């Protein structure tokens, strides 16, 4: 593929409003824009790690470190023939999946552009439009939550996901059901806030006709999730516990979940994301594409993977305006019709880059070339 240069730009983007989960609050997006250059084309991606190691062990800082010291030197020295080689090339390095994914996704975009195909087409996507939902953080009070739910339902989102934690679970869900009825597509995401000691409360969730409950138990558990799933009617969806297709296989084998949330960053890139998709498809397990409050470049990659056939549940990829006053891509991600986003057909991720905006928000940047790597 002839990759001769990589550019990293760390940028900080203001969020329209803070986003709170059971593990903490985010007030701005701290991302690394990664570009890989060949003779005449550029591939692009963004890192999805949070600024603090509270969702997983990575941070924006560790992603930069891994890229600078291990991943970029490898890629520039060894080169690849196909983007699927990148995952294998990095497999001797333990974890750091979000760092690996940031570079691998840029290589996939470059490959698509070199071949004049959309990223969706290169990945084997079949959908022209994807169904999307929205994720709502923990709010200050029930009234604020209901206002948000109402707003996003009016925009047509096909899945309302609300964050829950002990003390903010039964009451908000009941309030939503009371106000909007039993039929709106509703789910809850606990981000690992409970243990099996909370079984009685978790079983009470069965009364709310939820599409699923996401990651109720520990971030590194599948055993207790299997125990809980055996006693709950509501399908369990795993997020934090699944880092690889092997994790997915084991979770499905012991029936720890009935649905998997696929996040490209969490699993180390598009190659592994597609493998998890394929495994789940074979086993009739639906998947959907999760989110990490991505800016536009990350959203574009999510749209491409979500165009694969077994993404049968609306994902968390909302419009750019859900989180940002201004996004780093042209055009911004918008709903093509209520609850739908069209999959771009242009080569690569199919969006242009708003470099002027990126340049205004840069806190650090660095260029790597073959020559600088060898010295
Ligand atoms: O658990 O899905 C999650 C955001 C940051 C970290 C973890 C999660 C989330 C979200 C937001 O739920 C999804 C989005 O809108 O991008
Ligand atoms: Mg989640």
Does the CB atom of residue 293 touch ligand 1 within 6 A? yes
Distance 321 CA to ligand 1 centre (A): 16
Quick one: residue 295, left, alpha or beta (phi over 0 = left, psi -120 to 50 = alpha)?
A: beta
CA neighbor of 259 nearest in space, from 275, 227, 283, 293: 283
Ligand approaching nearest to the C-alpha of 236: 2
pLDDT of 5 above 70 = yes
- Model confidence at 45, pLDDT cuts 50, 70, 90, reads very high
pTM for the whole thing? 0.97
Cα-Cα-Cα-Cα dihedral of 100, 106, 109, 113, to 10°? -140
Distance 210 CA to ligand 1 centre (A): 18
**Angstrom distances, CA of residue 186 to CA of 140, 180, 251, 291:** 20, 10, 24, 17
Name the closest-CA residue to atom 7, ligand 1.
292
Using the CB atoms, write b or e for 221-234: b if 16+ within 10 Å: bbebbbbbbeebeb
- Model confidence at 374, pLDDT cuts 50, 70, 90, reads low
State the pLDDT at residue 372.
77
Token pair for 338: 């209520």
The DSSP 8-state label assigned to residue 311 in this structure reads B
In the Cβ-directed half-sphere of 147, how many Cα atoms lie within 13 Å?
7
Distance 114 CA to ligand 1 centre (A): 32
Does the CB atom of residue 191 touch ligand 1 within 6 A? yes
**Residue 62 CB neighbour total at 10 angstroms:** 17
Gap between the Cα atoms of 23 and 193, Å rounded: 8
Residue pair 31/60 in contact by the 8 Å Cβ criterion? yes
Does the CB atom of residue 160 touch ligand 1 within 6 A? no
| pLDDT, tens digit (0-9, with 9 covering 90-100), for 199-240 | 999 999 999 999 999 999 999 999 999 999 999 999 999 999
Ligand approaching nearest to the C-alpha of 324: 1
| pLDDT, tens digit (0-9, with 9 covering 90-100), for 249-282 | 999 999 999 999 999 999 999 999 999 999 999 9
Residues making up the chain, counted from first to last: 375
Gap between the Cα atoms of 311 and 363, Å rounded: 36
pLDDT of 373 above 80 = no
Does the CB atom of residue 319 touch ligand 1 within 6 A? no
Distance 214 CA to ligand 2 centre (A): 6
**Angstrom distances, CA of residue 253 to CA of 26, 187, 224, 284:** 35, 24, 14, 13
Average pLDDT of span 28-52: 97
Q: Cite the active site residues.
A: 163, 263
- Model confidence at 375, pLDDT cuts 50, 70, 90, reads very low
């Amino acid at each position: 593929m002839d990759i001769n240069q990589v550019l990293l730009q760390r940028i900080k983007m203001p969020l329209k409003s803070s986003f709170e989960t059971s593990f903490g609050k985010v007030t701005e997006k701290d991302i690394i824009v990664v570009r890989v250059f060949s003779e005449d084309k550029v591939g692009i991606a963004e890192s999805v790690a949070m600024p603090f190691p509270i969702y997983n062990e990575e941070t924006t800082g560790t992603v930069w470190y891994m890229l600078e010291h291990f991943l970029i030197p490898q890629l520039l020295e060894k080169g690849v023939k196909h983007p699927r080689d990148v995952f294998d090339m990095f497999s001797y390095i333990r974890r750091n999946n979000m760092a690996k994914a940031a570079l691998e996704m840029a290589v996939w975009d470059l490959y698509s552009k070199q071949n004049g195909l959309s990223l969706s087409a290169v990945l084997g996507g079949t959908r022209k439009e994807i169904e999307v939902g929205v994720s709502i953080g923990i709010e200050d009070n029930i009234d604020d939550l209901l206002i948000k739910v109402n707003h996003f339902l009016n925009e047509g989102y096909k899945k309302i996901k609300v964050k829950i934690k002990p003390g903010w679970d039964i009451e908000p869900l009941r309030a939503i059901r009371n106000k909007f009825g039993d039929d709106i597509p509703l789910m809850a995401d606990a981000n690992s806030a409970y243990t099996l000691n909370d079984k009685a409360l978790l079983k009470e969730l069965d009364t709310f006709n939820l599409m699923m409950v996401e990651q109720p138990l520990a971030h590194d558990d599948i055993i207790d999730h299997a125990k809980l799933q055996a006693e709950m009617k509501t399908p369990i969806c795993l997020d934090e516990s699944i880092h690889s297709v092997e994790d997915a296989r084991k979770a499905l084998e012991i029936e720890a979940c009935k649905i998997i949330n696929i996040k490209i960053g969490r699993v180390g890139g598009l190659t592994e994301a597609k493998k998890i998709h394929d495994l789940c498809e074979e086993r009739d397990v639906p998947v959907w594409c999760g989110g990490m409050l991505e800016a536009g470049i990350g959203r574009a990659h999510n749209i491409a993977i979500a165009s694969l056939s077994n993404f049968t549940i609306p994902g968390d990829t909302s419009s750019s305006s859900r989180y940002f006053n201004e996004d780093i891509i042209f055009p911004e991600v918008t709903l093509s019709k209520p609850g739908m986003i069209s999959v771009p057909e242009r080569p690569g991720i199919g969006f242009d880059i708003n470099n002027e905006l990126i340049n205004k928000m840069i806190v650090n940047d660095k260029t790597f070339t073959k020559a600088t790597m060898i010295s």
